[in-house]
Amino acid sequence: MGTDFFTVEVLTLKGLVTYYVLFFIQLESRRVCLAGITPHPEQQWMEQMGRKVTMQKWGFLTNSRYLLHDRDSKFCMSFRQLIEAGRVKTMPLPARSPNLNAYAERWVRSVKQECLSKLILFGERPLRRALQQYVAHYHEERNHQGKQNRLLFPLPNRGASGKNGMVRCKERLGGLLKYYEREAA
């Protein structure tokens, strides 16, 4: 399991605000969990995120053994203690070594390049919506070269229509994210 932050500039009534997005990614499956979005990732917020992802039964880190993260000061001692209390060993990576958390870094590049760099966001709600739509697209509709060009988590009704139906273009975020699907014959 890996975790990291990335930043997004958002226009608000107070001007340009930098939001920090905390996410977790399962290295084997590439499943992404957006843990939280905030303009101020202080210690209390990080502790709450730690509690959220280690909750029994439904926390994203429930069946994980290790959590890779960089040495960013936002990953404070109390956050790491909460993660370890959930039976997940935290593993801070050496300084200046982004290749050791390559899947997380690649996901940041994908979300920024394919989605966020093409949008002007006016407030936190549009940012949340764009990220949720991108994560759904990433999991259910986008082919992944690192996984033999397959979908990560296709919906059950997809792919069962055979080879005779018409191919239709479907869209998310007003056409920014496109995917193709064969209709039932």
**3-state SS of the chain?**
CEEEEEEEEEEECCEEEEEEEEEEECCCCCCEEEEEEECCCCHHHHHHHHHHHCCCCCCCCCCCCEEEECCCCCCCHHHHHHHHHCCCEEEECCCCCHHHHHHHHHHHHHHHHHCHHHCCCECHHHHHHHHHHHHHHHHHCCEEHHHCCEECCCCCCCCCCCCCCCEEEEEEHHHCEEEEEECCC
Q: What is the pLDDT of residues 116-171, one digit of tens each?
A: 999 999 999 999 999 999 999 999 888 777 777 787 887 776 555 556 778 888 88
Question: Which structural domains are found in the chain, ordered by start?
Answer: 2-151 (3.30.420.10)
pLDDT grade, residue 184 (50/70/90)? low
pTM over 0.95: no
